[in-house]
Structure 1
Amino acid sequence: MQCEVQSGSLLDAAADLAVLLHTEDEPLPTPVTDLCEAGDATGRWNQQTLLYPRGTLPARRLLLIGIGKRSAITADTVRQAAALAAQRAQELKVTTYHLGYNGNLPLAPAVFGQAFAEGSVLGSYRYVRYKSDREEPPSLNAILQAGADAEVAAAGVQRGHIIARATAFARDLANGPGNEVTPAFLGQTALEMGERLGLKVMVLDKPQLIEQGFGGILAVGQGSANEPRFIVMEHGAAGNGPTICLVGKGITFDTGGISIKPAEKMDEMKMDMSGAAAVFGAMQAVAELQVPLHVVGIVCAAENMPSGAAYRPGDIIRTLSGKTVEVLNTDAEGRIVLADGLYYAQRYQPAAIVDLATLTGAIMVALGPHAAGLMGNNQELANRLIAAGEATAERVWQLPLWEEYRDAMKSEIADLKNTGGRYGGAITAAVFLAAFVGDYPWAHLDIAGTAWVEKPVRTYQSRGATGIGVRLLVEWLQGYVGAQG
């Protein structure tokens, strides 16, 4: 999918498909109203009307997409409408289509352009890599007709295209089968990214993890033939702007280990590395956007399997920090690998640490597929992430980390235990993580309910991995740049 901008009028475009976004409270252009009956195209959200001008307009087909009331239009309105346009273009098997808006832009042209590109790329996304009989879809070219605002809109389109491709990259990783997307695969992917994007990359294998004392990652991964990896990707350098650490849970397949999960839907546990996928996608985006920050992406990669070598309930693990953990449930493994990653992040003396993880079923029960859970130790950081979530429609909802919850994670025989029981599970998991971040500003994003969807919540999603977190992180980092300036 390619996206570009032209300065001409949509109704003058000689296109196989022209797409006009229109609202409930603005009249359609006269040449368009002549093609349909009153009431056929009211502008209400998601209403689609396909017209055939038959020579009355240069376009062969004209698709009208309603986007609701003008006063309610947001970037996500445009993003979703652009996704609908891309999907309809795929159905009609056209290779190029033009999109325009009827009326004055209710958003800044750059914002509109970015949303157009993101919706177009993500709306056309499909994961069909392993279908041997698949028909290769035609390469789509989406053109935004932006009139006099073309030059400004083009900057937004370029930015949106980079961010959307990074999100699609994260989707590919999380959708990938566990027999391919292993910890070693993630390590090799990071090395290739380093060569391609100029990132400084370090990948630690099992002997190096043993030598350096990564007890959490080693314990979780010891039951699998696919050995764990610890991955660090750096954009920029220390002193070149503030240092930000992004830490991703990279459980490439999660059976639950000895505390094995039910068989139903276990196939979906290939997505338990969606936090890591978001970090990979964000690192690609910040490199291509040349974000003026020192950004460190940390991925804790392991496969959680049951075997004679697997870690057991009742085991005591000594993590990289030296703190010990009593294992009560081997399916509470994400927090154990993150303990090593979060403690390692302190070496960079960061201005902020943000971790992303498909950590708990509890957050799925609490928030469903509409928001990620946010917990942390710094309200300013939390507020920035909340604002970034609203701007990108990758919403987060803050939960408390009150002192009372900490008692649930105290162990009688170790420093911590790895589960605090059924109640408040998303919060007690975050309490566990908080023990490994020191005094650095930190936020935890539990994306378990938003990383994978059976039924898309927004039009630019498809069944499976959503790539959640990439657009949120990039928006937050850009806001961080602005705040520093």
Structure 2
Amino acid sequence: MGEVPKISVEVVPEPPASGDLVEFVPEGKRVSSDIPEEEFRGKKLSTLLLREGGRRRLYVGLGPQESIGPAILRKASGAAVRSLVKIGAEQISILAQEWEDHLDAIVEGALLGAYRFERYKPETLRSRTGLRQLWLCIAPRLRREAKEKAKLGQLVAEATNLVRDLGNEPGNVIFPEALAERAHQLAKEYGLSCRVFEPRELEEKGFGGLLAVGSGSVHGPRLILLEYSGKDPGRPPIALVGKAITFDSGGISLKPGERMDEMKFDKMGGCAVLGILCAASRLQLPTRVVGVLAAAENLPGPSAYRPGDIIRTYDGNTIEVLNTDAEGRIVLADAIAYVKKEFRPSLIIDLATLTGACIVALGKEKAGLFTPDRELREAFWSLGEEVNNPVWPLPLGEEFDEQIKSDIALVKNVGGKEGGACTAAAFLQKWVGDTRWVHLDIAGPAWITKEVAYLEKGPTGFGVSLITRFLLGQANQAQRTKPSQKGSGRKR
């Protein structure tokens, strides 16, 4: 997974004789009496490269001791690997003896930092080297636990890089039916069940939202259903719903041409759902998980849907269309209605690059978090900071419901300029009803347009680490409490 060669990850007590070395340094710690303090103080993500005995040693600053945790170690590890890979490193040893508690974050950051997407470059322009071997050097007495943590970090990073690969693919390669085919391939590889609803079946079953949004393209929409049964396939699942608009021109309400190429990333919510299901299978989580991808291509065309149209969704509810560029909430309404009726999930989590308004509110680094459930809000808020998938709670409320009231349908698909991210969430809540629910508006952090110290520019795979670790935490909690209740699961 990812554009780097398959990377071997090993936990060892001492670094091998070959390869480069990485050492993390808290702020204020001297690395050598020969290095002036002014040259390297250990400030956050600062680096110092030295040659020692014929090999390179890279020092990476962690910042103040009191702020060191998994978030900064993940970034520092990514920054170290990116820096060394750029100068030809293929084998790297990370001296992690002081940081064994966060080894999963270190491995995850390293493999995310090693990722490159070069599939469409000529051979002569591709990188000649890449990371092939990563050693984690730890205290021998902690080796067993460290290996488990390293494996977790590796699986999460590989799932994230898989999502980044899908996200990087252009609209002429990944369109709805192509995404469905990739989902079939991944399901076969990871032991998931997969079903795809094609346009004829979508019409027969009444998926009016997906059909409307995809009506302007020669590539018809798809509803992609993935299931991971876990250890108790009879229990109500956790449902993940992802917006997978493979390219979004805005439809008849056409977007400006500038930066429209980035709209191949409008599928990142759906791609994240794919990656999370693959990670759940590899981790053998006991929790039953259902993933639904609402895939369509939003283009203008002779049969495209129009402002003023009335759409009827899977559950019979109606939407007045005022702007065809507010299409994500329309396809999600169909997907949420379907998963709610057919699976009766214990929790619905949706991920979507839904609104530019969320970027205006929070910037590019944080996702908008919406849920009426205080416990879920606190859990996602805290976990997001820890795994470098930061989220920030935004409000729901009657004032946003008022903005999307329609005179001729249940709701209209836009609610004015004020609180755009909140009105979009209020729209989705009409289909969620009283089911426990988390909505993540990932429009900001789903991709970056400039590389940073620890990541290549392009899609980030945002949400994979956050939700995979949330599912892992739920599984661990369930194992501790051992609930005896069993749900009805899928309707027969």
TM-score, normalised via structure 2 length: 0.92
Which residue is equivalent to 2:280? 286
Which residue is equivalent to 1:14? 17
Please list the CA deviations of residues 262-309 of structure 1 after superposition, one character each: whole Å capped at 9, or x if unmatched.
111111101111100110111111111111111001000000000110
Q: Work out whether residues 347 and 436 of structure 2, in 8 Å CA contact, stay in contact via their aligned partners in 1.
A: yes
1:4-403, aligned counterparts within 5 Å?
A: 4-10=9-15, 13-28=16-31, 33=32, 36-37=35-36, 39-53=38-52, 55=53, 60-101=55-96, 104-105=98-99, 109=100, 111-132=101-122, 133-140=124-131, 141-148=133-140, 149-236=142-229, 239=233, 242-346=236-340, 347-403=342-398
- Give the Cα separation in 1 of the matches to 2:448 and 2:121: 21
- Give the Cα separation in 2 of the matches to 1:219 and 1:344: 16
1:154 Cα deviation after fit? 1.5
Taking a change above 3 Å as real, the CA distance of residues 135 and 405 of structure 1, as seen in their structure-2 partners, is closer
SS in 2 for 1:468: coil
Q: Work out whether residues 3 and 157 of structure 1, in 8 Å CA contact, stay in contact via their aligned partners in 2.
A: no
SS in 1 for 2:431: coil
1:374 Cα deviation after fit? 1.1
- Give the Cα separation in 1 of the matches to 2:420 and 2:255: 17
- Give the Cα separation in 2 of the matches to 1:138 and 1:27: 32
Taking a change above 3 Å as real, the CA distance of residues 15 and 68 of structure 1, as seen in their structure-2 partners, is farther
Please list the CA deviations of residues 325-365 of structure 1 after superposition, one character each: whole Å capped at 9, or x if unmatched.
11100001000000000011112111100000011110010
Q: Work out whether residues 403 and 415 of structure 2, in 8 Å CA contact, stay in contact via their aligned partners in 1.
A: yes
Between 80-89 and 470-479, the greater mean CA deviation after superposition: 80-89
Q: Work out whether residues 236 and 343 of structure 2, in 8 Å CA contact, stay in contact via their aligned partners in 1.
A: no
Between 168-177 and 305-314, the greater mean CA deviation after superposition: 168-177
SS in 2 for 1:41: coil
SS in 1 for 2:63: coil
Matched, 1:412 2:411: no
1:150 Cα deviation after fit? 2.7
SS in 2 for 1:46: coil
Which residue is equivalent to 2:456? 462
1:240 Cα deviation after fit? 5.4
Extract unaligned runs of 5+ from structure 2: 1-5, 480-492
AA in 1 matched with 2:114: S
Q: Work out whether residues 117 and 161 of structure 1, in 8 Å CA contact, stay in contact via their aligned partners in 2.
A: yes
Which residue is equivalent to 2:465? 471
- Give the Cα separation in 1 of the matches to 2:27 and 2:259: 42
1:67 Cα deviation after fit? 1.4
1:372 Cα deviation after fit? 0.5
- Give the Cα separation in 2 of the matches to 1:445 and 1:81: 26
- Give the Cα separation in 1 of the matches to 2:168 and 2:77: 23
Between 66-75 and 116-125, the greater mean CA deviation after superposition: 66-75
Q: Work out whether residues 170 and 277 of structure 1, in 8 Å CA contact, stay in contact via their aligned partners in 2.
A: yes
Q: Work out whether residues 11 and 146 of structure 2, in 8 Å CA contact, stay in contact via their aligned partners in 1.
A: no
TM-score, normalised via structure 1 length: 0.93
Which residue is equivalent to 2:485? none
SS in 1 for 2:218: coil
The CA RMSD measured in Å over matched residues stands at 1.7
1:242 Cα deviation after fit? 4.8
AA in 2 matched with 1:202: R
Q: Work out whether residues 246 and 279 of structure 1, in 8 Å CA contact, stay in contact via their aligned partners in 2.
A: yes
Equivalent in 402, 419, 432 of residue 437 of structure 1: 432
Taking a change above 3 Å as real, the CA distance of residues 240 and 75 of structure 1, as seen in their structure-2 partners, is farther
- Give the Cα separation in 2 of the matches to 1:81 and 1:227: 43
AA in 1 matched with 2:9: E
1:475 Cα deviation after fit? 1.3
Q: Work out whether residues 118 and 126 of structure 2, in 8 Å CA contact, stay in contact via their aligned partners in 1.
A: no
The percent of aligned pairs where both chains have the same amino acid is 42
- Give the Cα separation in 1 of the matches to 2:105 and 2:304: 46
- Count, aligned residues: 469
Between 257-266 and 377-386, the greater mean CA deviation after superposition: 377-386
- Give the Cα separation in 2 of the matches to 1:286 and 1:143: 25
Extract unaligned runs of 5+ from structure 1: none
Between 167-176 and 83-92, the greater mean CA deviation after superposition: 83-92
Taking a change above 3 Å as real, the CA distance of residues 221 and 67 of structure 1, as seen in their structure-2 partners, is same
1:241 Cα deviation after fit? 5.2
